Structures are given as structure tokens and as C-alpha cells.
Amino acid sequence: MFDTILLTVDLNDLKGSERPAQAALRMAKTEGATLHVVNVVPDFGMSIVGSYFDKSHNKTILSDAKKALEAWAGDTFKDIGPVTLHVDQGTIYDRVLKVAREVDAKAIVVGAHKSQLQDYLIGPNASRIARHATQSVFVVR
């Protein structure tokens, strides 16, 4: 049913990524699926903010994020075959959906951040992913 699964990971909240990772791992094993993992580095928002950083800053951020994702995935997914890692930069939900289309994901696994008054059910990125994805989306608390 789900031959390709995309897991979203927040490198700034690895503890919060543990349960979604375990759910994605179980799904991948059960389905015999290919597992992809994506981390999105937020962009600067406004171009004027980006102008205060030197040109190599983005390359350094993405390189550091890739190394951190590789280290985390190496520990987390040692019991499964190869896992494909993706690091992108931009608006989180938009980039997750882009990667899901690129890898032809049949399911997206995303963690829900701690509920707050303004996002009582799930976090804003998980909510947008669930609303706009054409794939099944599993939100893990």
C-alpha cells in the first residue's frame, strides 16, 4: 500500500522526532517500503534579512544540516536497509510537499509539536502538510 514513505525530521527537536521516526520505521518494515527522511532548514523570510549574511552562509547551513541528519539517521535507522536523506531550505510545509512529489511518496509521517492554544490539535506545519498533501499523512504525537 505505501511503497515509499517520507519522514519529516526537525533537527532542532530530535527528541520530538523519535516517535515519528519509530512509527515510520515500523511502517517501512511492515510495508517493505523505501524510506526517505527530509529536514527543512527555514529560509530567512525576507530578502533584506538574507542580505546581512555572507554568500557562503546558506551553503554552510545546508552542509551542517546534512551532516547532522546523517549522524542522526545512522543511529536511528541501523536496523533497516538504505534510507535516502534530503535536506532542503525554504518554507517547511512547502518543501516537504515538494520532496514528497519528487520521491513519489505514498505516505508522509510528521510529528506534531506540543499543543499550544493557537494550534490546539497539531502544529502549523503538520497541519498545512496534512491539508495540502495528496498523500496519506500520519501525524504522530
- What average pLDDT score do residues 62-78 get? 94
Alpha-carbon distance of 62 to 39, in angstroms, equals 10
Could you give the percent of the chain with pLDDT greater than 70?
87
> pLDDT tens digits for 85-133?
999 999 999 999 999 999 999 999 999 865 554 444 567 889 899 999 9
At 52 the pLDDT is 66
Instruction: Tell me which residue range forms the domain holding 123.
Output: 4-140
* Alpha-carbon torsion, ordered 63, 128, 133, 4, to 10 deg: 40
* CATH code where residue 105 lies: 3.40.50.620
At 46 the pLDDT is 59
> pLDDT tens digits for 74-98?
989 987 878 999 999 999 999 999 9
Asked whether the beta carbons of 3 and 120 are under 8 A apart, the reply is no
Confidence of residue 71 (pLDDT cuts 50, 70, 90): very high
Sheet holding 136-140, edge to edge: 83-89, 34-41, 4-8, 107-111, 136-140
Within its chain, how far is the Cα of 128 from the centroid?
13
Q: Mapping DSSP to helix (H, G, I), strand (E, B) and coil, where does residue 100 land?
A: helix
Task: Please tell me the total number of residues recorded for the chain in this structure.
Answer: 141
Q: Is the dihedral of CA 109, 96, 75, 31 positive or negative?
A: positive
Alpha-carbon distance of 16 to 40, in angstroms, equals 15
The count of domains in the chain is: 1
